[in-house]
Structure 1
Amino acid sequence: MRIVFMGTPAFAVPTLDMLAQRHDVALVVTQPDRVSGRGGHSRYSAVKKRALELGLPVLQPARLDDDAVSDIRDASPEAICVAAFGMLLPPTVLSVPPHGCLNVHASLLPAYRGAAPIQRAILSGDRETGVSIMLMEEGLDTGPYALQRTLPIEDLYADEVELRLAGLGADALAEVLAGLPDSVTWTPQDAGEATYAAKITKDDVALDPELHVDEAFRRVRAATRRAPARACLGDREVTVKRATPVEADVAPGGLCLADGYPVLGFSGGALRLDVLRPAGKGDMSGRDWARGARLAADVCWRCTR
């Protein structure tokens, strides 16, 4: 099948790989390069990097205007496949392919429509999440779905869930494409059951001694590079990257060492900081950080807000 693929971050790369192996990818559409770092260097999206490695043509519109729509139409796709593209598709794009625009969405729709379904599922304490292959409409993730695959969340972190869902989504999309147009049934979403997954903010994942330890652990696991889980240990601000709930005789707001690792007290328990990132530095083990920090015996910790 002739395909136009639209995607941007690493989550979309397994889907692109699958399409390149099984179909004719006429065009890859991704977000424009971003400027990053102190040197102001341009950074490719993960999808652009992989598309160039595969020798596929790449289009990077700042918006889906008439010129971009014309380029997509000229590619003559039978279907447009989308995975975390980052822009809403206007009707002029949705109407191009005869088999429609199929989206790999990282939730079990109608739950968690929107930008941060993985993080919101973790923060809510859900036991499972999944992917949905959805036929796109003008609304935000409102279209009917053809196939869903589930994944237990357990104690996984957001990046681990994303990696697993990326593979599940690619496989599910392959199955749906193989059934088009006659062997696919589209199930309408129940709008009354819909929830919205807004982008994660720093406040959503901020660590506070008054939190229950279970909530604090979910915040660490749901944190992202742009919305990190931070705390002040004494007078030192750190980002908590990996942690483990432990039993420790430490009150909320208290800080102690266990096997050399810093342990933060919360309501109902404590978190051992396995991996953290000090301000202006890279990731390191909690033990290495504590060795260098030489914390006072009576030191406490607090929220950064």
Structure 2
Amino acid sequence: MRIARWSHDGIVDEGFVVGDRVVAFPDGLTVTDVLTEGLDAAHAAFARVEASTGAPLADVRLLAPLVPASVRDFVAFEEHVEGVSAGVEGKSHVADEWYEAPTFYFTNPHTILGPDDVLHPPVTDRLDFELEVAVVVGGTRDLGESNLTVEDAASVVFGYTIMNDWSARDLQGREMKVRLGPAKGKDFGTALGPWIVTADELEPYLDADGFLAIRAEVYVNGALIGEDLVSNAGWPFPEFVAYASRNSRVVPGDVLGSGTVGNGGCLGELWGRNGGLVPPPLQEGDEVRMVVEGIGELVGTVGAAVPAPAVSHARPRPRLRHRESDTH
């Protein structure tokens, strides 16, 4: 099943993509409702829709396929880490700690873009994309939401979508020197789409070790920039979900990005390997097209940058331990 949200004649609707048509969920259900109930409920809803109803897919404007409860983004591809570290640190290096657990950061669920949205980045000299596959969590009711085993985590993998983690590498590099982040280098836009493909649809692509062996490609203005197999990640998707739930919670509607695939999944990796800004950073008007086997295509266009108000520098402080007025 493919699950989507769309706008048609000024009305937002949610439901299934069936062939070349979109068909609303029965009984006014939403994507959030379906994710809460899980895959069995999604199949039950699908059995009740009439494929000939709805509207032609070509006549609607696809939106992001869900409003995420949260967005975690992992860094799970060793090849990506090797390339990016070469650009940032001057040498290719993967920290020993990377191998110990699938590390992630939280990004902004309030700046989610869909397949038809134009990105308006901050002012940046190093705008980049990141080609990722994201898992969408659903149906946690019977298992709980904390400290899931890998086996239980696999059962709450509701489906997958394509994720483009737009990145301003100059902003990201500055703030990560403070040992936090990424923050403003990332939180201006994350694209999801074009829809959620349910986990059962991609089961034929799972290899013997449980990794999702689907091809992922990215093109800039029609030129192939990167290509990889998603199964080159260091961990399979259920282990992302299980790790996210450790001493914490995962809930329906959580989105967990795989992190950038290797072999050119972002420009930053290639800059590190090539020793300079080759290929060049993205510019206004550029089109980034991501194609993932079994899921579809996610296309994003770069719009005009949006200047933000100036930021004040930190002011020197006297490090007093008591107010001066308290000493009189």
TM-score by length of 1: 0.23
**RCO comparison, higher one (Cα < 8 Å, 6+):** 2
